Structure 1
Amino acid sequence: MDGPTDAAAWKREQKQTELAARISQKGDLKLKLDHFIQTRQDTTSVTHEIAEIDAEIARLEEELRLL
């Protein structure tokens, strides 16, 4: 049985799924930001959310690189 390899493959798949979700979330936030800009609303909170998602994406990409 190839348990450690299976575990590593599962972990990689989980990280890739999480990364895809974060990238999608970032796209949604960019649309929200565009709407806020067009309607002249305060963009601070959305800009902060995008920065947090960017940091999460960078972390996940690094974790995947190390797997």
Structure 2
Amino acid sequence: MSGGGSSLPPQDSSLHGKQVLTCLEEWMAQQKYQSIDEFKGRLSFSKAPNASMYERTQFMKYFGPV
């Protein structure tokens, strides 16, 4: 995370990165995923059974009170 405008000192951002990784690993174990490839893209717009829900949410995000 160098040069990206991060407000955390290097040691803090490293700790934060480790915490994020730990949480991700715990979540993956709970969901019984062995790798990121198994769930990557699961929330993809192109795979949505009802893509219009995404469109409506995005519309409301910018033009309505969501």
TM-score grouping bracket, smaller chain normalisation: 0.3 to 0.5
TM-score normalised by L of structure 2? 0.38
TM-score normalised by L of structure 1? 0.38
Greater per-residue helix proportion? 1
Larger relative contact order (CA 8 Å, sep ≥ 6):
1
